[in-house]
Amino acid sequence: MQHVRILRRQVVSTVAAAILMGAGWAGVAFGFEESPELKALVDAGKLPPVEKRLPKEPLVLTPLESVGTYGGTWRTATFGGGDSEIERSIGYTRLVRWNPEWTEVIPDLAKSVEVNADATEYTFILREGTRWSDGEPFTADDLVWWNENVLRNTKITPAAPNWLTAGGETVKVEKLADDKVVFKFAAPNGLFLMNMATVRGSDILAAAPAHYLKQFHKDFNPDGIEALVKAAGATDWVQLFNNKIGFPGRWRDLGRPTLDAWVLTAPYNGTTQVVAERNPYYAKVDTAGNQLPYFDRITIDVMQDTQAIILKAISGEIDMQNRFIETTDARTVIVQNQEKGGYGLFIARPAWSNALLITLNQTHKNPALRAVFSNKDFRIGLSYAINREELNQLIYAGQAKPYQAAPREGTALYDEKMATQYLEYNVDLANQYLDKAGLTKHDAEGYRLGQDGKRITFAIDALTGSPIQVDALEMIQRYWRAVGIDMQPRPAERSLIFSRLQNNENDGLGWVGGGGYDFLGLLDPKWYFPHEYESSFATAWGLYYQNPKDPNAQEPSSAAKKQMDLYRQVKEAPTLEKQLAAMKELLAITRDEFYVIGTNLEPDRVGIVKTNMRNVPKVIPSTSFYMTPGPAKPETFYYQQ
């Protein structure tokens, strides 16, 4: 029951596609139902009837298994004071969102969106009658207000985020009607909708309730603002305003109107517990006309230790969650305690591909190391020297098959050769390639010498917080010693690793990543080409791509430059097909350059779900880019009585 509305703004017949609408909507008004608590409030005259609270044509969600029943609490836990869990479980509401399978962008609050042929204009049709959680209407004016007074106000937003700029200019939002707005970019911005579906998109609607935010904005409340700043203990009005709209400050603001399924009743102050209760104005219904969400409330326990979250899970105090309990070392405990904790499992599939990839900095400041690291034969030799099957058995309990830093199988970008090249364990072949790389001289201990006549020795940084990666690196250290290469694993604190990267002072890095799902590759291509300093296989080229004038930047190779052009094409393409086509070209170069040495495919992880909870998918991608579990539609989860 899906149809596409094509708008031919130009004679180009190919693109300008509108995003699919959620359901065939015939405009038939059926009787809407609501939760008993809300009904009681309506009967008591404290709340308008449900027809008045819903949009004229609410978004109809088709539950995964069955239409649910109202009631219950969804208990989750989070770690520390600034984690995105709250954004993912409560706050995943946008104009457009990911579909649960993570293969396309679909409408959320917007009824539809149309893209013009060069990806510079995005026209959103809103659902007439959508309301904020305080009952005020949500209209085009809200988005225009955000654009003019928040995003383009340089006090509040000193620099607009990249995804909202193109051609060096910030996006402009214009109202066409109460339920119609257009986002205009100065240059093509093909990844705009995808970015909106990620964590980044939260920032728009959080800063859009003009009727509420005006009081905290100096331009709209010049007389009263000082008192509010004082009362809040903020340094100035800009900080106060940013606390209302930014993450995580906005989750400490109890009065904030939202469009989410649940509304905050106990704030995220970083210690105890966050609570959010059903939003009476939530704009979505199920196929039977029941207003969503089914759950009465969500509670998020804020813990200071991830082990404590695992304990909570096995004692049955968490209803549905994968983050913090999906780690490899917790898996056994989680799986064993299913009966006691009263939960089953779902697969949380990491969005990236490699459990550990190894980069060697081809832009190293030391010429001897730079020479060997940039030699493809050297990298191929090292790849052949790794016994990935042994790593799999000893480190990953046989769950992680050998894999290069490449897209996952079954994705549009999957390239078999890229995923499987140089994977076999073959010491002779490894030695041949290292000899071919010109490293034929050995010292007394059997280590190979570089062009400066000194032993080739380098460190691979890894997170102290990822002991599994450190263990794997220690095994790889042995494999490489066997072929005459001296590598030292160097566990370090994350900030230290990153400041090395920013200054191009890294030898090498062991990290998770290497592509994976299509959208991760499109939005976060750092392992495919030198996109930023985190592209640690060529840090200085990555710095160059972000800012050619950076003191640590270096002129990239011609292959890398070609990739940078291709990625610009990706960002300028108006349709997913064209983006993927350009991305495939880019990946072919990645494959041939063999920048990054992959080891093993990150094993599927497991999350827990209460045995009587329904409509939870069997497989959910796990990454902040997907906003796990948001796109899996928690608003349709329910407990079977």
Partner 1 sequence: MAGFIIRRLLYMIPMMFAISVVTFIIIQLPPGDFLTALTARLASQNETIDPSVIAGLRERYGLDQPWAVQYWKWISGILLRGDFGQSLDWNKPVSELIWARMGLTMVVSVTTLLFVWAVAFPIGIYSAVRQYSVGDYVATFFGFLGLAIPNFLLALVLMYVSAQYFGQSTGGLFSPAYINAVWSWAKLGDLISHMWIPVVVLGTGATAALIRIMRANLLDELNKPYVDMARARGLSEIRLLLKYPVRVALNPFISTVGWVLPHLVSGSVVVSIVLSLPITGPLLLNALFAQDMYLAGTFILLMSMLTLIGTLISDLLLAWLDPRIRNG
Please report the DSSP string for 95-117 in residue order. Answer: SEEE-TTSSSEEESSEEEEEE-T
* 262 counts as binding partner 1 under rule CB under 8 A: no
Q: Which stretch binds partner 1 (CB under 8 A): 117-125, 366-374, 400-408, 622-630?
A: 622-630
Residues 542-601 that bind partner 1 (CB under 8 A): 546
Spell out, one character per residue from 423 to 462, where the chain touches partner 1: x when CB under 8 A holds, - when not. Answer: ----------------------------------------
Nearer to partner 1, 283 or 356 (CB): 356
- Whichever of 217 and 312 has its CB closer to partner 1, that residue is 312
Q: Which of 48, 71, 137, 246 binds partner 1 (CB under 8 A)?
A: 246
27 token code pair: 């405009």
Task: Name which of residues 303 to 322 contact partner 1 (CB under 8 A).
Answer: 303-305, 307-308, 311-312, 314-315, 317
Query: Quick check: 465 binds partner 1 (CB under 8 A)?
Result: yes
Decide whether 354 or 563 has the Cβ nearer to partner 1: 354
Q: Which x/- pattern over 181-200 shows residues binding partner 1 (rule: CB under 8 A)?
A: ------------------xx
Question: Considering only residues 16, 18, 75, 530, which one is a binding residue for partner 1 as defined by CB under 8 A?
Answer: 75
Interacting residues of 313 by C-beta distance below 8 A, sequence separation 6+: 77, 321, 325, 334, 337, 341, 343, 608
CB closer to partner 1, 432 vs 546: 546
Site for partner 1 contains 289 (CB under 8 A)? no
Please enumerate in sequence order all residues whose Cβ is within 8 A of that of 43, keeping only pairs 6 or more positions apart, or say none: none
**What phi and psi, each to the nearest 5 degrees, are found at residue 318?**
-125, 135
**Start-end of H helices in 246-366:** 306-314, 331-336, 338-341
| Interatomic CA distance for residues 232 and 223, integer angstroms | 16
Helix/strand/coil (H, E, C) string of 522-571?
HHCCCCCCCCCCCCCCCHHHHHHHHCCCCCCCCCCCHHHHHHHHHHHHHH
Please identify which residue in 14, 162, 393, 440 interacts with partner 1, judged by CB under 8 A.
162
Cβ proximity to partner 1: between 252 and 370 the closer is 252
Query: By the 8 A CB rule, do 529 and 535 touch?
Result: yes
CB distance 76 to 608 below 8 Å: no
Is 266 a binder of partner 1 (CB under 8 A)? Answer: yes
The span from the CA of 207 to the CA of 620, in Å, is 29
Distance of closest approach, residue 243 Cβ to partner 1, in angstroms: 5
Question: How many other C-beta atoms are found inside a 10 Å radius of the C-beta of residue 101?
Answer: 12
Please calculate the CA angle 552-553-555 and round it to the nearest 5 degrees.
Answer: 145
Interaction between residue 499 and partner 1 (CB under 8 A) = yes
- Of the residues 125, 166, 275, 439, which one makes contact with partner 1 according to CB under 8 A: 275
Residue 79 to residue 337: CA distance in whole angstroms: 22
With beta carbons less than 8 A apart as the criterion, state whether 198 and 625 touch: yes
- What is the footprint of partner 1 within residues 334-363 (CB under 8 A)? 350-352
The span of 35-43, 289-297, 364-372, 487-495 binding partner 1 (CB under 8 A) equals 487-495
Please count the residues of this chain forming the interface with partner 1, following the rule CB under 8 A.
68
Nearer to partner 1, 378 or 533 (CB): 533
Q: 189: number of CA atoms within 13 Å, CB side?
A: 25
Minimum CB distance to partner 1, residue 606 (Å): 17
Question: Which of 64, 67, 160, 427 forms a contact with partner 1 (CB under 8 A)?
Answer: 160
Q: Show the binding pattern over residues 381-420: x = contacts partner 1 (CB under 8 A), - = does not.
A: ----------------------------------------
Applying CB under 8 A, the span of 184-192, 561-569, 571-579, 619-627 interacting with partner 1 comes to 619-627
**Closer residue to partner 1, CB minimum distance, 14 or 304:** 304
Nearest alpha-carbon partner for 133 in 75, 103, 90, 173 = 90
Interaction with partner 1 in 203-242: which residues (CB under 8 A)? 233-235, 239, 242
Percentages helix, strand, coil for the chain (3-state, rounded to 5) are 35, 20, 45
Q: What sign for the dihedral angle of Cα 343, 346, 350, 354?
A: positive
513 binds partner 1 (CB under 8 A): yes
Q: Which of 268/422 has CB closer to partner 1?
A: 268
Compute the least distance from the CB of residue 362 to partner 1, in Å.
Answer: 20
CB of 155 to partner 1, least distance (A): 10
Position 638 contacts partner 1 (CB under 8 A): no
| DSSP-assigned states of every residue in 22-38 | SS------PPPB--HHH
> Quick one: how far is CA 590 from the chain centroid?
22
Q: What end-to-end distance do the CA atoms of the chain give, in Å?
A: 30
Interaction between residue 475 and partner 1 (CB under 8 A): no
**532 counts as binding partner 1 under rule CB under 8 A:** yes
Kindly tell me which of 266 and 468 has the beta carbon lying closer to partner 1: 266
Stretch that binds partner 1, among 154-162, 208-216, 385-393, 446-454 (CB under 8 A): 154-162
- Helix, strand, or coil (residue 245): helix
| Token reading at 92 | 């995943």
The answer to whether 312 touches 76, Cβ cutoff 8 Å, is: no
Q: CA-CA distance, 603 to 332, in Å (whole number)?
A: 14
Residue 391 and residue 475: Cα distance in Å, rounded? 8
Instruction: Candidates 2, 271, 558, 641: give the one binding partner 1 (CB under 8 A).
Output: 271
Name the residue nearer to partner 1 (CB basis): 318 or 371. 318
3-state SS, residue 588: helix
Between 415 and 534, CB nearer to partner 1: 534
Give the interface with partner 1 as residue ranges (CB under 8 A). 75, 80-82, 84, 157-163, 165, 199-200, 233-235, 239, 242-243, 246, 249, 252, 266, 269-273, 275, 299, 301-305, 307-308, 311-312, 314-315, 317, 350-352, 463, 465-466, 493-500, 502, 512-513, 524, 532, 534, 546, 623-625
